[in-house]
Amino acid sequence: MNESSHPHGYLSEKKKYLARIKRIEGQVRGIHRMVDEEQYCIDVLTQISALTSALEGLALGLLDDHLRHCVVDAAKSGGEEGERKLAEASAAIARLVRS
């Protein structure tokens, strides 16, 4: 556990996140199989859109946990650490919105 000895927001839900990521991995393998079986382009594109939505859900969950724990705790202590955590969170949100 790097960045700080501060327990990350998602740890209480770690198992759920790991299971969720495993499902996403399964979706990717499903898309690989569709292309390997030469299935219709539109059907492959439909699965990619579904995968993108699943990824957004995963990211939004992690972000919510991060805000509730890491950012709030740092904000309470204030000072440079609080400022840094907020800037980091905003940059992560911007990457998600623009990707």
Query: Which residues form the interface with a second copy (CB under 8 A)?
Result: 1-4, 8-11, 14, 17-18, 21-22, 24-25, 28-29, 31-32, 35-46, 48-49, 51-53, 55-56, 58-60, 62-68, 70-72, 75-76, 82, 86, 88-90, 92-99
C-alpha distances (whole Å) from 71 to each of 2, 16, 21, 56, 83 are 16, 22, 24, 20, 9
Shortest distance, position 6 Cβ to a second copy, whole Å: 9
Residue closest to 61 by CA, chosen among 97, 8, 17, 23: 17
Q: How far is the CB of 79 from a second copy (least distance, A)?
A: 12
Q: Give the residue from 1, 3, 8, 5 showing the smallest Cα distance to 66.
A: 8
Give me the least distance between CB of 69 and a second copy, in Å please.
Answer: 8
- Residue 80: CB minimum distance to a second copy, A: 14
* Angle between the N-to-C axes of helices 79-98 and 41-66, in degrees from 0 to 180, rounded to the nearest 10: 170
